Chains A and B, each alone.
Chain A
Amino acid sequence: MSDQHEAEPAAAPYSATTTEDTGAPASGEPGGRQPLTGRLIIQTFSEGNTVVITILAIFVALLVGAILIVASDPVVLRAWDSFSYAPGTALSATWDSVAAAYSALFEGSIFSPATVAAAFHGGSIAAIFYPLSLTAFEATPLILTGLSVAVAFRAGMFNIGAAGQWIGGALVATWLGYAVNLPIVLHAIVCIIGAFIGGAIIGWIVGEIKARTGAHEVILTIMFNYIMYNLLTFMLSSQSLMQAPHQTNAVAPNIASSAMLPHVGGPPPQVGVGFLIALAAAAATSWLLNRSTIGFQFRTVGASPSAARSAGISVERVWVLAFVIAGGLAGLSATTIVQGQTAPLTFNSYGTYGFDGITVALLGRVRPLGVVLAGLLFGALNAGGTVMEAATGVPADVTNVIEAIIVLLVAAPPLIRMLFRLRRSRGAGAQAVTSKGWSG
């Protein structure tokens, strides 16, 4: 395992999955003979490679979600009371409950057949794409915080502080948005750059403390989250700082219309330029991590700090730089909310973007393309969850449970293999992620 990693630092920290990626096909046959394509496919499924495990994890999580929906549905529970003499009613009530919820989830996030029928009868064609537009809108901030977590992860660090960095970006973008007068396009760009810098500063402080003292970044970022929550409320509840005039609530002034991001799909909550920013950031991150010297250093430090040090890489500099970039990406996430929505910044605007970024990054295997896909999946669950709650009364929180279970299962491939009786993959990939504790 270690040989492979020293030779190929690209298969860096999120080990189990990455070694499966490269490990299963490459380790193949002992004599170096490549397996035939057909065999490879069978092997892929029977051993459970990355994609298969992710799909199975999503399946199990949806199943758990279904159980939650059914077990808390009074209609279904009443039907089950009379299971002994009307089993059909109980089963159909169960099916109806789950089917109603999940089809609302699907129609709210991806595609609703009703809109196609309407389009044929003179309705709007744009309405067909409305659910996808919602999904992309919801996915936008998640992709960016996911990238933030992923960049730090590739450099061997765990960034729980995307929420704090988000706030850093949000404060700068909001201030630039209402306090500065600039022409239309320039204003938005200045705000975006400001948000990146605002987030990067918070990330830089964390990286600097870690590099200078060796303090663990998990503790530092958790603490910075709380400092930033309180700082945000403090700034927004003081008239002399950032509170909107004549307000008693913790609310910032509305930013100028020249600083708003232009719409693409329609007014929020439909997809806007923020989504393009997220995609561009993903492409840039991908280039940075996989094609640039800095990215190579990141991955080397992530794979083994001591090896990186022997190779002449300044590990401390990498830590600081990785956190600066991670913070900046989290700041960009804030920009898509602050400048992408009409609502002003409030004391709880940060929502759960920071923590969702962790789950998105882990599900996306800390790779930019994976993060985009995972962000879209979570965006779909969030967008669909709202529609589901409105249509069936099932609280949208169930989607959070589904998301967390997906990540939990993806992080534990041996469990999925056990559940579905998959064979252990040959070679190095069988091990799960091993953790490094506080002292790493």
Chain B
Amino acid sequence: MTALATPVRAPVTISRRYLAAGTFIGLGLIDIFVFGLLAHSGDAVFALSLPGASPHLPSIHVPGALLAYLLGVISIGLGVLRAVVDLPRWGKRLTLAIVLLCFLLSLLAWADAGNVVGPLQVIDLLQGTLTASIPLVLGALAGLMGERAGVINIAIEGQLLTGAFVAAAVASVTGGVWLGLIGGSLAGGLVGALLAIFAIMFLVDQIILGVVLNVVALGLTNYLYDRVMIPYANTFNSGNTFSTIKIPVLSSIPIIGPVFFDANIFLYITYALILVVQIGLFRTRWGLRVRAVGEHPVAADTVGIRVLWTRYRNVILGGMIAGIGGAYLTVGSVGFFTSDISSGFGFIALAAMIFGRWTPLGSVAAALLFGFSYQLQTELSVLRVPVSSFILLMAPYVATIIAVAGLVGRVRPPAADGKPYVRA
């Protein structure tokens, strides 16, 4: 029944090189003719410290339109460079990063040029980006753990949701936020275990399974929320949260300190998990085995790797990571559980994983991009910039479609992803 992988060639006739160059030049032109020309006259002000912070950095004043023109010229220059010179791989990535940065900066310059509401709070924007990315990063890592071993995990959303619910409930009943975190993680692992059992033992189609598990998680948490949490809110949903931990010394570095080292434990757990998964997958024996199981289970089995056991373990571990991400949504930020609190983060995490081409660092980059667009939308509405937040919120999804459609390079899943392994 396994449908053969039908090779469909992308009928893109222009070579990738010129496509990228054209995109760069196009973005540069937008910088100049949209953000530059339409900017109000006056300076764009970027505040680099939070109000009342010490040491206090002076805010940067730049003429908004001029900055946008300059950034546009840089982008066009890089586009021409890309078209003329065949850059090495790192060069391609660097130019892409610079052009995207130019685009974002000119957008910000346009937004804040001559703005009477106040300066753009750069620290807020970056801090918010990082915290908004936490559930996305953890969700993407969870998906990655399963998919690298060959099990598709669409149930990330359900894992986040149950993690959030159980974390809030456990933290409220026991009064311990750490117990809440552990409970949330275990709950996510439980959904992972269900996914693993149905996918590996009963060979259920993994995409169907993931969708159905999401519905189960949503229905169950909604039911228990209405039935237990609302009537007994003091016992089950009292809203405990972790307090912020400032890392000594590091947190007093200007800009970097408040952004990276002044948050609650979840951000630091996220750093640690990114490192563990990245190094684990690509630098350890365990990772090699996992990747072997995900790419070619028959070969892995032949050399004595326990394929099914590897898959069980990875899917459950992934579920536990997503459970931590879910716990962040309650005990890590607002404290209270509300109906459907994960509100689609699991699906965005899935997109981030695919956008990041099934690599931890790539997924993190994609998750940060999504987090940034959320936070940008918040900051722009604070500045009362006349651009619809819904358009900004759409951007990550459009970007993902462009990514999976292969316009910015092909994304390729692990070869055995989603295919149950039955020993012949």
Chain A residues within 8 Å of B, Cβ to Cβ? 1, 5, 13, 15, 68, 72, 156, 158, 160, 209, 211-216, 218-220, 222-224, 226-227, 230-231, 233-234, 237-238, 304-306, 309, 315-316, 355, 358-359, 362, 394-395, 397-401, 403-405, 407-408, 411-412, 414-415, 431-440
A435 interface neighbour in B227, B391, B404, B420, Cβ under 8 Å = B420
Give the shortest distance, in Å, between A303 (CB) and chain B (any CB): 8
The B362-416 residues at the A interface (CB cut-off 8 A) are 388, 390-391, 393-394, 397-398, 400-401, 404-407, 413, 415-416
A305 touches B202 (CB 8 A): no
B351 touches A223 (CB 8 A): yes
Give the chain B neighbours of A15 by CB distance below 8 A.
Answer: 1
A433 touches B203 (CB 8 A): yes
A1-B1, A215-B401, A220-B404 known; A411-B11 Cβ under 8 A? no
B404 interface neighbour in A219, A306, A398, A408, Cβ under 8 Å = A219
Asked if B19 is at the interface of the complex by the 8 Å CB criterion, the answer is: no
B231's closest neighbor in chain A, by CB?
Answer: A74
A404 vs B217: C-alpha distance in the bound complex, in angstroms? 9
A435 touches B400 (CB 8 A): no
Give the chain A neighbours of B393 by CB distance below 8 A.
Answer: 226, 230
Chain B residues within 8 Å of A, Cβ to Cβ? 1-8, 10-11, 152, 154, 198, 202-209, 211-216, 218-220, 222-224, 226-228, 344, 347-348, 350-351, 354, 388, 390-391, 393-394, 397-398, 400-401, 404-407, 413, 415-420
A412-B204, A438-B413 known; A220-B3 Cβ under 8 A? no
A158 touches B207 (CB 8 A): yes
A5-B1, A222-B347, A435-B418 known; A397-B212 Cβ under 8 A? no
A432 touches B4 (CB 8 A): no
Give the chain B neighbours of A211 by CB distance below 8 A.
Answer: 8
Give the shortest distance, in Å, between A349 (CB) and chain B (any CB): 16
B215 touches A233 (CB 8 A): no
A405 vs B420: C-alpha distance in the bound complex, in angstroms? 22
Listed by A's residue number, 8 A-B pairs whose Cβ atoms lie within 8 Å are A226-B397, A358-B211, A397-B223, A434-B1, A435-B152, A435-B204, A437-B419, A440-B4
Give the chain B neighbours of A13 by CB distance below 8 A.
Answer: 1
Give the chain B neighbours of A400 by CB distance below 8 A.
Answer: 215, 218-219, 222-223
A234 vs B393: C-alpha distance in the bound complex, in angstroms? 10
Give the chain B neighbours of A216 by CB distance below 8 A.
Answer: 404
A220 vs B397: C-alpha distance in the bound complex, in angstroms? 9
Q: Is the interface of B mostly helix, strand, loop or mixed?
A: helix
B203 interface neighbour in A231, A405, A432, Cβ under 8 Å = A432
Centre residue among A226, A304, A359, A400 by max chain B CB count within 10 A = A226
A437 touches B418 (CB 8 A): yes
A435 touches B205 (CB 8 A): yes
A160 vs B350: C-alpha distance in the bound complex, in angstroms? 14
B216 touches A405 (CB 8 A): yes
A212 touches B10 (CB 8 A): yes
A218-B154, A411-B204, A439-B5 known; A212-B212 Cβ under 8 A? no
B1 touches A401 (CB 8 A): no
Give the chain B neighbours of A231 by CB distance below 8 A.
Answer: 390, 394
A15-B1, A359-B215, A401-B219 known; A394-B205 Cβ under 8 A? no
A223-B401, A234-B388, A315-B6 known; A68-B207 Cβ under 8 A? no
Give the chain A neighbours of B7 by CB distance below 8 A.
Answer: 214
Q: Is the interface of A mostly helix, strand, loop or mixed?
A: helix
A436 touches B3 (CB 8 A): yes
Extra contacts, 12 of them, besides A411-B204, A435-B204, A440-B2 (Cβ < 8 A), are A212-B8, A214-B6, A230-B390, A234-B390, A304-B3, A401-B216, A401-B220, A403-B219, A408-B198, A411-B209, A436-B2, A440-B3
B8 touches A316 (CB 8 A): yes
A440 interface neighbour in B5, B219, B220, B400, Cβ under 8 Å = B5
A403 interface neighbour in B6, B215, B391, Cβ under 8 Å = B215
B219 touches A398 (CB 8 A): yes
B339's closest neighbor in chain A, by CB?
Answer: A397
A434 touches B203 (CB 8 A): yes
A231 vs B398: C-alpha distance in the bound complex, in angstroms? 12
A15 vs B405: C-alpha distance in the bound complex, in angstroms? 29
A436 vs B3: C-alpha distance in the bound complex, in angstroms? 6
A400-B219, A404-B215, A407-B212 known; A223-B203 Cβ under 8 A? no
B222 touches A395 (CB 8 A): yes
A227 vs B13: C-alpha distance in the bound complex, in angstroms? 28
A408-B212, A412-B198, A431-B203 known; A233-B397 Cβ under 8 A? no
Give the chain A neighbours of B3 by CB distance below 8 A.
Answer: 156, 304-305, 436, 440
A13 vs B205: C-alpha distance in the bound complex, in angstroms? 11
A72 touches B216 (CB 8 A): no
B223's closest neighbor in chain A, by CB?
Answer: A397
Give the chain A neighbours of B208 by CB distance below 8 A.
Answer: 158, 358, 362, 411, 433, 435
A211 vs B203: C-alpha distance in the bound complex, in angstroms? 28
A439 touches B413 (CB 8 A): yes
A440's closest neighbor in chain B, by CB?
Answer: B3
Give the chain A neighbours of B390 by CB distance below 8 A.
Answer: 230-231, 233-234, 237
Centre residue among A158, A214, A407 by max chain B CB count within 10 A = A214
B388 touches A238 (CB 8 A): yes
Give the shortest distance, in Å, between B141 (CB) and chain A (any CB): 18
B207 touches A218 (CB 8 A): yes
A357 vs B2: C-alpha distance in the bound complex, in angstroms? 24
A252 vs B7: C-alpha distance in the bound complex, in angstroms? 44
A215 touches B405 (CB 8 A): yes
A227 interface neighbour in B152, B222, B394, Cβ under 8 Å = B394
B6 touches A220 (CB 8 A): no
Give the shortest distance, in Å, between B144 (CB) and chain A (any CB): 13
A389's closest neighbor in chain B, by CB?
Answer: B226
B399's closest neighbor in chain A, by CB?
Answer: A223
B1 touches A214 (CB 8 A): no
B220 touches A213 (CB 8 A): no
A399 vs B416: C-alpha distance in the bound complex, in angstroms? 36
Give the chain A neighbours of B415 by CB distance below 8 A.
Answer: 439
B222's closest neighbor in chain A, by CB?
Answer: A397
Give the chain B neighbours of A440 by CB distance below 8 A.
Answer: 2-6
A226 interface neighbour in B2, B213, B347, Cβ under 8 Å = B347
A215 touches B4 (CB 8 A): no
A223 vs B154: C-alpha distance in the bound complex, in angstroms? 13
A234-B391, A435-B207 known; A404-B406 Cβ under 8 A? no
A230 interface neighbour in B4, B5, B218, B394, Cβ under 8 Å = B394
Give the chain B neighbours of A395 by CB distance below 8 A.
Answer: 222-223, 226-227
Give the chain B neighbours of A362 by CB distance below 8 A.
Answer: 208, 212
A355 vs B208: C-alpha distance in the bound complex, in angstroms? 11
A1's closest neighbor in chain B, by CB?
Answer: B1
A1-B1, A431-B203 known; A219-B394 Cβ under 8 A? no
